[in-house]
Amino acid sequence: MTYSGAPPTYRLADALFLIGHDEFSGKPHGATDRLDCALAGAALAELMFERRIAVEDGRVVAIDGRLWQEPLTDLLITEIMRREGAHPIRLWIRYLREQLNICERVGTRLATAGVVRREQGRLLGRSIRWPAVDPNQAATPRVRLTALLMRQPSTDLDVETLLLGALIEPVNLGPNVFDAQVSARMRECGKLLPGVLQSLLGAVVAALDASTVSIRR
């Protein structure tokens, strides 16, 4: 699938990835470990919205193991099916971040779709960058989210928009990407999520806290 013509509607993890990276330089706007945790949560949420997994008592349960020819989510559902039994969301977030390199996976999905380019730093140890092929198109998720948050009451927002805002806020992308008014609206989003998505958001926040503690050590 490619994003062309009309303004695209991005999958949740793709939208978060694009908001989390500068469309010109391709550099992340914040700490990569924190963005990775949020991307892992967004990727799991995609499976939840497609009813391929469910969350019961804070644990991930596979309910539809069919492959839908979407490489990233097919990979995730295969991994979940392979590890039989229900496992806590926080462990899946850690696995996606540390073992599956979720940022690379989402970036590759967008690069395959022609939205970004993958650029490797020339010097040893230089990080990978993801500049946009079309900066205006890559800015669509940020522009759309800003418009929705400023024009509609939070209670009228769909759950994907609420979750996107709720995932951005704890990653601290807000001050780097949005103005103070939009950032303040984002802080309301998590409170309006249904219980199962609040569980997901709570697991992401716990993973962020654990990541911060490990870095400080």
Domains and CATH numbers, the chain: 12-216 (1.10.3630.10)
User: What is the model's pLDDT at position 109?
Assistant: 97
Mean pLDDT in runs of 10 for the chain (217 residues)?
Answer: 51 98 95 95 96 93 92 95 89 96 97 96 74 97 95 90 94 87 92 95 92 50
How many CA atoms lie less than 13 Å away from 31 in the CB half-sphere? 12
User: What is the model's pLDDT at position 212?
Assistant: 60
User: What is the model's pLDDT at position 123?
Assistant: 61
How far apart CA 183 and CA 66 sit, in angstroms, is: 38
Dihedral of the CA atoms 43, 49, 55, 56 (nearest 10)? Answer: 180
User: What is the model's pLDDT at position 126?
Assistant: 62
